[in-house]
Chains A and B, each alone.
Chain A
Amino acid sequence: MPRLETRDLTLRIGNRLLLHDLSVAFEGGQNWAILGANGSGKTTLLQTLAGLRRADSGSVLLDGEAMQHIPRRLRAQKLGILFQDTPNAFPASVFETVLSGRHPHLGFWQSETASDREAARAALAAVELAEFADRSVATLSGGERRRVEVAALLAQDAPLSLLDEPVNHLDPRYQTAILGLVCARRLRPGHLNLLVLHDVNLAQRFCSHGLLLLGDGSARHGPLADILDTAILEKIYHCRMREIRSDAERLFFPD
């Protein structure tokens, strides 16, 4: 049974059809890249897959069960999502922010235990911000803040992670470091990542599978190596693309 599955999923915003009758199965051990032009419905799809938005028709299944029938807390234990932007209206320390990822694992009357704190500390260390624990999030740079959000997702420790443009604000070193960190989690049993990305080459490097949104309601999905070529990329992004071969790799750039 696939961990996450869509059946005849249709998404609309207003009168615009974003996705029509998408049926795709996401299995444990896979990393999926979701590619599409601005406004093609990537974020809407991700929020629907996370159970935060109703499908306009069709269904999303998590471990074979319809998403809307899964209790919220159980869902949050199984599935975590990194949003494109997270506003911080009030001062909070880096450690508090990361620790809040443990929320779904705590009962209503419970407080964080030593093991929750340990998980938060480990997540902060993984994104190389261990020494920032006591700083206020407001004093961090955009890239550092992004890594704090990733650490909160890691602390949540859900087997399914959906990430909306995880490399936003990150410099090249941290783009690969963070993607490496997240994508390596697929090796744990039953783990799976879905990443909305704009960099086709990063997608090829870190992901096994791809879901390409064409913007007219249709989509293509499958092993990334099989579905990626200049023709489909030109159709997605509405610009000329150039393919460069180096050794066994194919790199794509806008022309």
Chain B
Amino acid sequence: MKAGTGLRLALIGLVPLSFVFALATGSVTLDAATLWQVLTGIEHGLPATLVLDLRLPRAVSAFSVGGLLALAGCLLQALLRNPLADPYILGISGGAAVAALGALLLGAGSGWISGSAFLGSMVAMLLVFGLSHGRGAWSETRLLLTGVVVATGCGALVSLMLALSPQASLSTMLFWLLGDLGQNNSPGWGLAVLTAGLLLAVPFARTLNLYARGEQVAAALGENIALLRYGIYFLASLLTATAVTLAGSVGFVGLVVPHLLRLLGSTDHRRLLPDAVLLGGSLLVVADTLARTVLAPAQLPVGVLTALLGVPVFLLLLARAARGTG
């Protein structure tokens, strides 16, 4: 109990820290005093425009996307009872990528690209659900295999489009595929979906604990597992689709944030789900800030940075945990 509270407090502290970092860092680095003046409305002019019109919306959408992916990762890992599951494993990002790159190839504007990404992910979600359901028994293995196969099919189509596309649009496409928060002007609804998703998922967290112990166990303890299964699947899919629409496929966050927290002792889903949102969100805010500053004025795809930041931390914790139990 005590350790869990400490972790939660640390994560809550991480959020404002990551935002301060994001707001202060960039082409013009602001000191703490200036940042404070901007945020309290004393300072107008260039720093205010920089912070309030450019950096803050971008940080908010980074936080939303990170939170959405981490939450979806937790849900899908519990649903598939597979520690390797991540938000993209069921082909949702694949469907989005095919549609988004298709729109790019046709020369559509950024609004159209987001729209078709969302549409593509919905099509992939329904396709996987329909195919894995089919006739006969539902099983998480069948859902997993269907999802992986659909994702692979989408991957092939994406490669085809990359091969056929003109040189000029290639780098836009690669950025979209690796995840990019630069295009984003409406961070509000990502945050809204994240909040709604968390509020929907948390009341079911105790049931998710049972589900992680096995579908049979959840059924024996009085849960309607068919309903639960559909609920988790569609909620996780919608969260992922929203994240992909906002930022392309940012890798790593959805897979590793849940595991990181489990290694830190957050094994009860009632703690894990909110913790994952806090950590996933802050991680992506920091990664996105680095992505736009490390090689400034060039921007890096944020997905590359989430992995570069996350992999060593994760390996370190894994090694520590192995020593602790071995």
Contact of A52 among B77, B78, B209, B216 (CB under 8 A): B216
A109 to nearest B CB, angstroms? 7
* A residues near B142, Cβ cutoff 8 Å: none
A79 to nearest B CB, angstroms? 8
Contact between chains at B217 and A75 (CB < 8 Å)? no
Answer yes or no: A2 CB below 8 A from chain B CBs.
no
Contact of A92 among B206, B209, B270 (CB under 8 A): B209
Q: What is the 8 Å Cβ interface bit string for chain A, positions 69-87, against chain B (1 contact, 0 not)?
A: 0001111110011010011
Contact between chains at A73 and B222 (CB < 8 Å)? yes
Task: Report which residue of A72, A90, A97, A103 has the largest number of chain B beta carbons within 10 angstroms of its beta carbon.
Answer: A90
* A residues near B206, Cβ cutoff 8 Å: 103, 106, 111
A129 to nearest B CB, angstroms? 17
Return the chain B residue nearest A76 by Cβ: B222
Contact between chains at A100 and B209 (CB < 8 Å)? yes
Contact of B224 among A72, A93, A111, A138 (CB under 8 A): A72
Contact between chains at A100 and B220 (CB < 8 Å)? no
Answer yes or no: A254 CB below 8 A from chain B CBs.
no
Q: State whether A92 and B267 are in contact (beta carbons under 8 Å apart), knowing that A109-B203, A136-B325 are contacts in the complex.
A: yes
Question: A140 CA to B60 CA in the complex, in Å?
Answer: 43
Q: How large is the interface on A (under 10, 10 to 19, 20 to 34, 35 or more residues)?
A: 20 to 34
Question: A239 CA to B135 CA in the complex, in Å?
Answer: 40
Contact of B267 among A77, A80, A96, A111 (CB under 8 A): A96
* B residues near A156, Cβ cutoff 8 Å: 221
Q: State whether A88 and B213 are in contact (beta carbons under 8 Å apart), knowing that A108-B203, A136-B325, A139-B325 are contacts in the complex.
A: yes
A224 to nearest B CB, angstroms? 26
Question: A56 CA to B85 CA in the complex, in Å?
Answer: 36
Answer yes or no: A50 CB below 8 A from chain B CBs.
yes
Return the chain A residue nearest B222 by Cβ: A76
B317 to nearest A CB, angstroms? 13
Q: State whether A87 and B214 are in contact (beta carbons under 8 Å apart), knowing that A72-B224, A80-B220, A96-B267 are contacts in the complex.
A: yes
Answer yes or no: B219 CB below 8 A from chain A CBs.
yes
Q: What is the 8 Å Cβ interface bit string for chain B, positions 142-181, against chain A (1 contact, 0 not)?
A: 0000000000000000000000000000000000000000
* A residues near B203, Cβ cutoff 8 Å: 108-109
Question: A138 CA to B220 CA in the complex, in Å?
Answer: 22
Question: A139 CA to B323 CA in the complex, in Å?
Answer: 12
Answer yes or no: B210 CB below 8 A from chain A CBs.
yes
Question: A91 CA to B83 CA in the complex, in Å?
Answer: 10
B86 to nearest A CB, angstroms? 15
Contact between chains at A72 and B214 (CB < 8 Å)? no
B223 to nearest A CB, angstroms? 7
Question: A108 CA to B228 CA in the complex, in Å?
Answer: 14
Answer yes or no: A36 CB below 8 A from chain B CBs.
no
Contact of B220 among A76, A91, A92 (CB under 8 A): A76
Answer yes or no: A101 CB below 8 A from chain B CBs.
yes
* B residues near A75, Cβ cutoff 8 Å: 222
Q: State whether A72 and B222 are in contact (beta carbons under 8 Å apart), knowing that A92-B212, A96-B267, A109-B203 are contacts in the complex.
A: yes
Answer yes or no: B81 CB below 8 A from chain A CBs.
yes
Return the chain B residue nearest A90 by Cβ: B212
Return the chain B residue nearest A81 by Cβ: B220
B205 to nearest A CB, angstroms? 10
A residues within 8 Å of B by Cβ? 50, 52, 72-77, 80-81, 83, 86-93, 96-97, 100-101, 103-104, 106, 108-109, 111, 136, 138-139, 156
Question: Which 5 A-B pairs rank lowest in CB-CB distance, beginning with the nearest?
Answer: A76-B222, A73-B222, A89-B81, A72-B222, A103-B221
Q: Can you name 21 A-B pairs with beta carbons within 8 Å?
A: A52-B219, A76-B222, A77-B222, A81-B220, A83-B214, A83-B217, A83-B220, A86-B214, A89-B81, A90-B78, A90-B262, A92-B267, A96-B209, A100-B221, A103-B206, A103-B207, A103-B221, A104-B222, A108-B203, A111-B206, A136-B325
